[in-house]
A and B are shown apart, each in its own frame.
Chain A
Amino acid sequence: MTRKSLLAALIASAFAATGAQAQTEIQWWHSMGGALGDKVNQLASKFNASQSAYKIVPSYKGSYPESMTAAIAAYRAGNAPHIVQVFEVGTATMMSAKGAIVPVYKLMKDADEPFNPKAYLGPVSGYYTDSKGNMLSFPFNSSTAIFYWNKDAFKKAGLDPDKPPRTWKEFVADAEKLHASGQKCAYTTTWPSWVHIENFSAWHNVPIGTKENGMGGLDTEFKFNTPLHVRHIAMLGDLAKRGMFVYAGRTNQGGAKFTSGECAMMTESTGGQANVRRGAKFDWAVTQIPYWDDVKGAPQNAIIGGASLWVMGGKTNNAYKGVAKFFAFLSRPEIQYEWHRDTGYVPITYAAYDLAKKDGFYQRNPGAEVAVKMLTNKPPTPNSKGLRFGNFVQGRGIIEEELEAVFTGKKDAKTALDEAVKRGNEVLRKFQAANK
């Protein structure tokens, strides 16, 4: 009797297992930790509840470079996930891997799902589109760099707390006043290359590299050692030497220095606002990044950071249908708006932006609109639609190394930028040779 019931239970569970397998599982590797990870899980379960044929299984795979490395290694071993979230720096590497990835425009067309690149903000779609105007990956979380300032510190230094610096010249004057008022660290930054080379170039409508910042071909060369770049980096080096600019690291470590009140001004991603809101015990606000007002056409528009979703090759057609359905789900304006509202990333479609405006979100949170305004300030030019440099993980590492040499006073700005361009170009040539 017991044996019989045990057998029955076994058979039943076996059937249950096959029943579950009829639902196609779709693996999604991402890098959204903490609160962002919860939001990702929420999106997945919302989609899973909306239909029964597919099941999205999100898994957190560590930092951006870690999940990209994991996906590449998994592909080499023959068990890649269906979807992987790759940061903007890895875009060129993914794009060149023809065969390893399925372009999103093709995925959506094959599955007969609606997909219109024009629905996305210019700097968002531009970043992930090939030279023929086809979108290769699915934009997911986009941010841009903005300027934070501590109003209380401004007041204490005798500055107008509602008048943040609009130009870099005003910025230096404000930094000096803040420093003189006893605010030792006037300014700090996060993501030095992204803010002070990549976004800086787009904001002033000058190229980071030739061939439309690498979008026009693999034979691109870096160009960020112009007198304008040298002047800007030399200004930062000078402030560092005088103790007004305190550098805190290559990722978002600077955020803690602003939040604690140690530094009065900061350049950081829009995504950093959640942490400042939680930790800052002073009055603060955000605005657009300063610019050099003698540069013609500045400010142009900002470029994005963040990540997009790539679809890996070698899976079944049925699974790809599920992925396309999931992307169609993610494209819905209300989902886009919800993501924007809850995470602090920018709304990446015009529809989501309109929805946020209609909902009065920006009246309640004026800071949330700064990033969208910076991205859509002017229609993007070849210098400001984004960048696509091969092996830019290494390339950005080189830029950051050289910038740090300036911040620590080891090299002058000209030497460091020349060296960064020279070393960066070697990385580009190597990538070109490996992908020809």
Chain B
Amino acid sequence: MEKRVVFRSAWLPYVLVAPQIAITVIFFFWPAAQAVYYSFLLQDAFGLKSQFVWFQNFVDLLRDTNYLSSFRTTAVFSFLVAASGIAISLLLATMANAVVRGALVYKTLLIWPYAVAPAIAGILWAFLFAPSIGIVTYYLKWIGLDWNWMMHSPQAMLLVVVASTWKQISYNFLFFLAGLQSIPKSLIEAAAIDGAGPFRRFWTIVFPLLSPTTFFLLVINIVYAFFDTFGVIDATTQGGPGNATEILVYKVYYDGVKAADLGGSSAQSVILMFIVISLTVVQFRFVERKVQY
């Protein structure tokens, strides 16, 4: 006998999934289609005049050396955000998992930053590290470090990476903690009895068992770094100095929203969309093979 629940009605399942499909179509497919459509247009800011220009917007972009260098910036930025975000939250989760007393307090505090909007997180870090008035800047000067990310591009990159990572750590932490708690204690105890130290136990038992979570977070964090970080950048460096922190999604936001160049901005978001789709495909085809479910 079959144990699965089967809908006997022909239409009921479709009705039940309809709201989800509607949301996906209205909020994901429709805007994506619009972006593709606009990427072929040349419009003035008010939308009074509109011309169909085929691939001109794309050609313009690919001829722009600054746009091409923005790819490199994005790669560096995304790698740093994803790698440090995952590493730090894994460390925090492992430690929070080991805490016996007051665990709830630790966990709550660590999850808190996730409720902060990216722009607010950006402002917060921008204030702390402001070249003129920041409190951290003041202490850094005191210990003899010349902190001014307006003059030093690596410092600017560090700032946006720290602000973006901080924002994402809570999310990662939550998943790692859940993952850690689902690992059977008996496995770890058995390894301990066999004489494996804490490090050995972590790398040979805990880490492999966490790999599905890690993989999931890798995908999510890369998508986050690619798409959701423009608020942080806008509130801190605005892509500068020069174009040291101008990542692809920030340029999309800047050209589309601030400079009212919808065609150019749409062409960029179409390119970005393809990059993220292919990155995700690559991750599922190659990285996922190393994952043990």
Show the binding face of A for B, using Cβ within 8 Å: 65, 69, 72, 75-76, 93, 96-100, 240, 246-250, 253-254, 256-257, 260, 262, 391, 393-394, 397, 400-402, 404-405, 407-408, 410, 423, 426, 430, 433-435
Return the 4 tightest CB-CB contacts between A and B, nearest first. Answer: A256-B132, A404-B241, A405-B242, A394-B259
Given A408-B242, A410-B153, A426-B60: A394 and B255 interface contact (C-beta under 8 Å): yes
A401 touches B243 (CB 8 A): yes
B42 touches A430 (CB 8 A): yes
B51 touches A249 (CB 8 A): no
Which residues on A sit within 8 Å (CB–CB) of B113? none
A401 touches B242 (CB 8 A): yes
Which residues on A sit within 8 Å (CB–CB) of B72? none
B259 touches A249 (CB 8 A): no
| Contact residue among A96, A254, A260, A410 (Cβ-Cβ distance under 8 Å from B44) | A96
B150 touches A248 (CB 8 A): yes
B260 touches A93 (CB 8 A): yes
Would you call B140 an interface residue if the criterion is a C-beta within 8 Å of the partner chain's C-beta atoms?
A: no
Give the size range of B's interface with the partner: 35 or more
A72 touches B46 (CB 8 A): yes
A423 touches B66 (CB 8 A): yes
> Distance (Å) between the CB of B192 and the closest chain A CB?
53
Given A253-B132, A393-B260, A401-B240: A430 and B48 interface contact (C-beta under 8 Å): no
Which residues on B sit within 8 Å (CB–CB) of A408? 151-153, 241-242, 244
Which residues on A sit within 8 Å (CB–CB) of B255? 394
Would you call B194 an interface residue if the criterion is a C-beta within 8 Å of the partner chain's C-beta atoms?
A: no
| Distance between Cα atoms of A433 and B132 in the complex (Å) | 42
The secondary structure that dominates the A interface is helix
CB-CB contacts below 8 Å: B221-253 with A: 238-244, 246
| Distance between Cα atoms of A39 and B264 in the complex (Å) | 39
Which residues on B sit within 8 Å (CB–CB) of A407? 150-151, 241
| Contact residue among B131, B239, B264 (Cβ-Cβ distance under 8 Å from A253) | B131
Q: Specify the chain A residue showing the minimal Cβ separation from B53.
A: A433
A97 touches B45 (CB 8 A): yes
Which residues on B sit within 8 Å (CB–CB) of A401? 66, 239-240, 242-243, 246
Residue-wise interface mask of B (50-75) relative to A, using a CB-CB cutoff of 8 A (1 in contact, 0 not):
01000000001000101000000000
| Distance between Cα atoms of A76 and B44 in the complex (Å) | 11
> Distance (Å) between the CB of B283 and the closest chain A CB?
32
B261 touches A246 (CB 8 A): no
Name 13 interchain pairs, CB-CB below 8 A, sorted by A: A69-B260, A75-B46, A97-B46, A248-B148, A391-B261, A397-B259, A401-B243, A404-B150, A407-B150, A407-B241, A426-B60, A430-B42, A433-B42
Which residues on A sit within 8 Å (CB–CB) of B254? 397
Residue-wise interface mask of B (159-179) relative to A, using a CB-CB cutoff of 8 A (1 in contact, 0 not):
000000000000000000000
> Distance (Å) between the CB of A281 and the closest chain B CB?
15
> Distance (Å) between the CB of A248 and the closest chain B CB?
6
Choose among A247, A391, A393, A434 the residue with the greatest number of B CB atoms under 10 Å from its CB.
Answer: A434
| Distance between Cα atoms of A72 and B192 in the complex (Å) | 66
> Distance (Å) between the CB of B258 and the closest chain A CB?
5
Which residues on A sit within 8 Å (CB–CB) of B241? 247, 404-405, 407-408
| Distance between Cα atoms of A260 and B46 in the complex (Å) | 43
A435 touches B60 (CB 8 A): no
Would you call B43 an interface residue if the criterion is a C-beta within 8 Å of the partner chain's C-beta atoms?
A: yes
| Distance between Cα atoms of A100 and B48 in the complex (Å) | 8
B131 touches A248 (CB 8 A): yes
> Distance (Å) between the CB of A116 and the closest chain B CB?
29
> Distance (Å) between the CB of A91 and the closest chain B CB?
12
Would you call B133 an interface residue if the criterion is a C-beta within 8 Å of the partner chain's C-beta atoms?
A: yes
B259 touches A97 (CB 8 A): no
Which residues on A sit within 8 Å (CB–CB) of B260? 69, 72, 93, 391, 393
A97 touches B131 (CB 8 A): no
| Contact residue among A250, A256, A397, A400 (Cβ-Cβ distance under 8 Å from B133) | A256
Would you call B120 an interface residue if the criterion is a C-beta within 8 Å of the partner chain's C-beta atoms?
A: no
Would you call B257 an interface residue if the criterion is a C-beta within 8 Å of the partner chain's C-beta atoms?
A: yes
Q: Specify the chain B residue showing the minimal Cβ separation from A402.
A: B242
| Distance between Cα atoms of A75 and B47 in the complex (Å) | 9
B64 touches A93 (CB 8 A): no
Which residues on A sit within 8 Å (CB–CB) of B259? 391, 393-394, 397
Would you call B49 an interface residue if the criterion is a C-beta within 8 Å of the partner chain's C-beta atoms?
A: yes
> Distance (Å) between the CB of B159 and the closest chain A CB?
13
> Distance (Å) between the CB of B140 and the closest chain A CB?
14
Which residues on B sit within 8 Å (CB–CB) of A93? 44-45, 260
Q: Specify the chain B residue showing the minimal Cβ separation from A411.
A: B242
> Distance (Å) between the CB of B49 and the closest chain A CB?
7
| Distance between Cα atoms of A65 and B153 in the complex (Å) | 25
Which residues on B sit within 8 Å (CB–CB) of A256? 130, 132-133
Which residues on B sit within 8 Å (CB–CB) of A434? 42-44, 49, 51
Q: Specify the chain A residue showing the minimal Cβ separation from B43.
A: A434
> Distance (Å) between the CB of B245 and the closest chain A CB?
11
Residue-wise interface mask of B (263-275) relative to A, using a CB-CB cutoff of 8 A (1 in contact, 0 not):
0100000000000
> Distance (Å) between the CB of A197 and the closest chain B CB?
16
Q: Specify the chain A residue showing the minimal Cβ separation from B50.
A: A434
Which residues on A sit within 8 Å (CB–CB) of B44? 93, 96-97, 434-435
Which residues on B sit within 8 Å (CB–CB) of A249? 131, 150, 240
B242 touches A410 (CB 8 A): yes
A247 touches B151 (CB 8 A): yes
| Contact residue among B45, B60, B132, B238 (Cβ-Cβ distance under 8 Å from A257) | B132
B257 touches A69 (CB 8 A): yes
Q: Specify the chain A residue showing the minimal Cβ separation from B152.
A: A408
| Distance between Cα atoms of A266 and B91 in the complex (Å) | 47
| Distance between Cα atoms of A240 and B254 in the complex (Å) | 28
List 9 other contacts, CB 8 Å, given A97-B44, A253-B132, A408-B153: A98-B48, A248-B131, A260-B133, A394-B255, A407-B241, A408-B241, A423-B66, A430-B60, A433-B51
Which residues on A sit within 8 Å (CB–CB) of B64? 423, 426
| Distance between Cα atoms of A260 and B130 in the complex (Å) | 14
Which residues on B sit within 8 Å (CB–CB) of A423? 64, 66
